[in-house]
Chains A and B, each alone.
Chain A
Amino acid sequence: MQNSLSLPSYSTALDEPQSFIERWSTSFVFVLMSIPVLGAFFFIGQSLRLDESQSLWQVSRSLSGILTLVAGDVHVPLYHVLLHYWRMAFGESVTIARLFSLFFFVLSVPALYLLGSRAYNKRTGLLVAFLFAISPFMNWYASEIRMYTLFVFLTIMSQYFFIRIMQEERPRLATWASYTLIAILGVFTHYFFFLSLIAQAVYFFLRHRIFPKYTLRLFIGSGIVVALAIAPWVWYVLFRGVVGFQEPSLVAPSFVDLFSTFSQFLFGFQSDALNTIFLSLWPIAVILGLVALRRSVRFLPQTEYFIVSILLSFGLTFFGSHLFAPIFVSRYLIFTIPAFYLIVASLFSTYTKGFRRVIQGALVTLMLVTFGIQVTSPNTPVKEEYRGATEYLSMHATAQDAIIVSAPFTIYPVQYYYRGPSPIKTLPEWDQYAYGPIPTFNHAALPDMVAKTTADYQNVYLVLSYNQGYEADIKQYFDSHYERLNARTFSNDLSVYVYRLRYNTVLSAIPTAVTRTN
C-alpha cells in the first residue's frame, strides 16, 4: 500500500489547518534551494584547502590512477571518479570543481524536505530543509572539493527509503531496489556510510516488530548485494596493502571535541572563544528536552531511528577512536546532520506555538549570525589561506631559495598555486609520486635532513601547517640554527617563516619590510 506524505503526527501543530506555508511548500522548497547558491558566493572564491588540493591532484589522473591513489587514501572512489568526468565535461577550474559539491548540496535540500515530510509532516520538512540550507557547516562543505555533500545526499536518500520501508505495509520492489542502490553508492562514497547502514540494522534489530513482514529477509538480501558490490574494492585495497598512508595523523577525541561537533553542526566553525560560549550553555539542551514533554506527545519510531543513528555513529567513532585508532573528525560525521536537524525540528514541533516561534527564531538568528561570522572572521579555524601564502612565496622566493613544506602532505595546495622558480621540498622528505606511506619524523635525523634539503640555497621559506606533532621541533631547529628574516601567518595554523641559510652568496630578494626576529 502506498503511503501519502501527510502522515498522522503527534504534534499539536499538525492539528492546525494547513497554513499558507504548507500549501505553498513545494514553491518554498525551490526558494530554499537558492539559499545554498547564495551561500556559495561567500565560499566558492576562497583559497584552496589541503583536502581540496589532494582531491584535485587525485582526480587529475587517469581512471586507474585515481583508483590507485584513492585506495592508498582513506576513501572510496565514487566521488573522485564522478568529479573526474565532471571536470572533463565542464572545465578544470577550482570553481567548477566546487560547483560539483554545491550541486549535491542543492539537491539535498528537496531531498531532506521529502524525508522530513515523510517522517513527520510538511511543516517539519520545510523547517528542516530551511535549517539545512542556512547551515554554516553544510555551506562550508558545499564549496569544498570533497565528497561530503554527495555523502550527505545519499544518506538522506537512504534514510528516506528506510523510513518508507518502515512505514509501508508492503514496500514495493522499487523501494527496495532504490534502497539497495543508494546503499551501494553510499559505501562507494565514504566508508562512514557503513555507520549509517549499521544504525539501520541496529534499529531494525531493536524494533523489528514495527516493520512489515519479510523485512529481515529483504534486508539480508540487500546487505548481500551491497557486500558483493563493495567486495572487489575491499579486495583491491587489501591487495594494495596500505590504507590511509597519506592521511594526517589524528588524536583521540575529547568530550569537548564530541560536543563541539554538535556545536559545529549548528553554528559552523567558530573561534575557540565563541565555541566555549556555545558549549558552556549545554544545560539549555535539558530545557529544550523538558519543555517538549507534553500530553500524548510520544516518540515516533522515526525519531527513535534518527536518535539511534546519531548515537551509534558518534558512539562508535568516539569510542573506536580511543580503543583502536583515532577516526573522529566532525566532517566524517557530516552524514548525521540531516538526522540531527530532523530531531531538532521534530522537537520544536512539540512546543506550544508561542514557544516554538521564539525558539525557532532564536536558532535561525543564531545560525545566520554564526554563518556571517564564519564567512567574515579571520579566526575561522578551518580557513586555509594557501593561496595567500603561495602568492607571498611567488613574490619573494627566488631560484636561489628553497621552499620547505611541513607536514609533507601539505605540498598539494602549495604546488597547486605556486608558479615561482624555487624548488618545493618537504620535511620529512617525501616523494609524493613514490608508492608508500610518508616517512615518519625522526628528531635525531633532523640536522641531516635539513642540511640535505637546504644545501646550496641562500634562504629557506618554511611553510608550516597541519601540525603532525613535530612542527615545533622543526621550527625550533631553524630558529636556533639560522637567522629568521621574516614570519607571516596567513590563516589559523598556516605560517611562513623565512630564514637566511648563509651569508657568502648573492643577496636574495627578501622583502624590504622585513621583521627580524632572531
Chain B
Amino acid sequence: MNAVWPHLPILQVVVPLIGAVLAGFLRRAGPAFAVALAVSWLMPLIAGAMLWQVLASGPISYHIGSWPPPWGIEYRVDVLGGFMLLLVSTVGAVIMPFARRSVAFEVEDGQQAWFYCMYLLCLTGLLGIVTTGDAFNAFVFLEVSSLSTYVLVALGRDRRALLAAFQYLIMGTIGATFYIIGVGLLYLLTGSLNMADIAARLGPEWAGHSRAIVAALAFITVGVSLKLALFPLHAWLPNAYAYAPSWVTAFLSATATKVAIYLLVRFFFSIFGVAIDFRELPVTDIVIALSIAAMFVASVIAVFQTDLKRMLAYSSVAQIGYITLGIGLANQAGLTGGLVHIVNHALMKAALFLAAGAIFFRIGTVRLSDLAGIGRKMPLTMTAFTVACFGLVGTPGTSGFISKWFLVLGALDKGWWVPVFLIVGSSLIALVYVGRVLEVVWLREPSAAIANASDPPLSMLLPLVVLAAATIYFGLDTQWTAGIAGTAVKNLLGGLR
C-alpha cells in the first residue's frame, strides 16, 4: 500500500489506459466487459483516496519522471480536481453493470470488445484532463477522450449515428484546435505550459500586453465552450446524444461535458483570474447572457421534441446553461451552485438516459408516441425516471433544488433580481417538457405494442435505482456536494486578483 500511495495520480490515468489495450486485445465481448467493469470499479477507490488526502493535507503534486515543474509534466489534484475525479469515476462505476445487456442489444457482436476498449480510452482522457496540471497535456487528453467518443457515437445502429459522429468530429476538432491556439498564445507570452506557472508569470507586468492575453482567453473560452456545448455552440450535441448507443449517451451526458466545464473553470479561475482582473473583462457577462439564452431556448426546443432521447439532449443543453451561469456569476454562492449542479445534473441525467436505454431494451423505440402507458408495464424503471424528472425541474427535496437555490443566492449576492426570475421561469418550462413525458407514460392506456414489456433485469435496474436514490439523497444531505464544492470554490476565489 505504501508503495502505491504516492503514485495515485498517475494510476488514475494509466490503469484505464492499460485496461483499454487489454480490452482491445481480448476481442470477445465477455472478457472485455469484465476488464471494463474491474477498471471502472477500481477508479472511484483511487479518486476517493486522493480526495480524502487532499481534504486532509492540501493539493497533491505528482512529478512525472521526477522532472520538477515547470519543466516536467506535473499532475496536480486539488479539492476541485478530486471532486471531479470522484464524480466521473463514480458515474462510470455505477452505470457500468448496465452496459453488458444494453450494449449486447444495441452494438453488433464483433464490435462489442472495441466498444469497451473505446469506453476505457474515453475514461482515460476524461480522468487525465482533470488530473493534469499541464495545459498541453490537457489538450492531448481532450483529444484522447474526444476521438474515442466519436467512435462510441458512431457505433449506434442507426445510420444517422455516423452522420452525428462526423458532425461531432468536425465541431470537436475545431473546439480542440481553438483551445490549442489559445494555449499557444499563452506559451508565446510566458514560455510555460504548467498551469500554475502560467498564472504566476502572467503577473501585473503584463498589463500592457493584455491584448494577447485577451485573445488567448477568447480562443480558449470558445474552444472549450464548443466541447461543453454552451449555447449556441451546442449544435453537435442533440444528434450525437440521440443516435449514440443508449449507454454511451448516459455516460457522455454525465461526464464528457462536465469535464469540459471543469477545464473552463480551471482556466477562468486558476489561470486568467489570477493573472488579470476578471471584472475588467466582458467574458463573464457574455457567459451569463449565453447561459440564460441556453436555459430558455434549449428548454423551449425540448418541449417540441417527439423523441425521448432528443428531448433529454436539449434538456442537457439547458441544464449546462445553469452550470455556466454559476461560473459567470463568479461569487461564492453562484460558483458553488454551478459546481453542485455539475454533480446533480450528472446523476439525474445519467438516470434519465439509462431509463431511456431500459425502455429501448424492452420495446426497441423511444419515440414519445410509442411510450403511452409504459409506466404501468415498467413501474420501477419509470418511477426512477420520474424521480430524476422532478430533480430536473428542481422540486424541493431533490438535488436539483439545491443547485438552483445556490444559483439564486449567487444572483442575489450581486443584487440581480432578473436572473432569479429567469431561473424560476426556465424551471417552469422544464416542468412543461417533463410533464409532457410523464403524462404520456403514466396516464395513458398501454397500447398493444408494449403489452409484453416489463422492468429490465436487475443489472440494468440497479444502477438506475441507485442514481434516482442519489437524486433524492443529495437533495436532503448536502454535506458531500455543497460542502466540498464550497471548499473548492473558496480555494478558487481566494486565488483571484
* Chain B associates with chain A: no
Using CB atoms and an 8 Å cutoff, list the residues of chain B in contact with chain A.
none
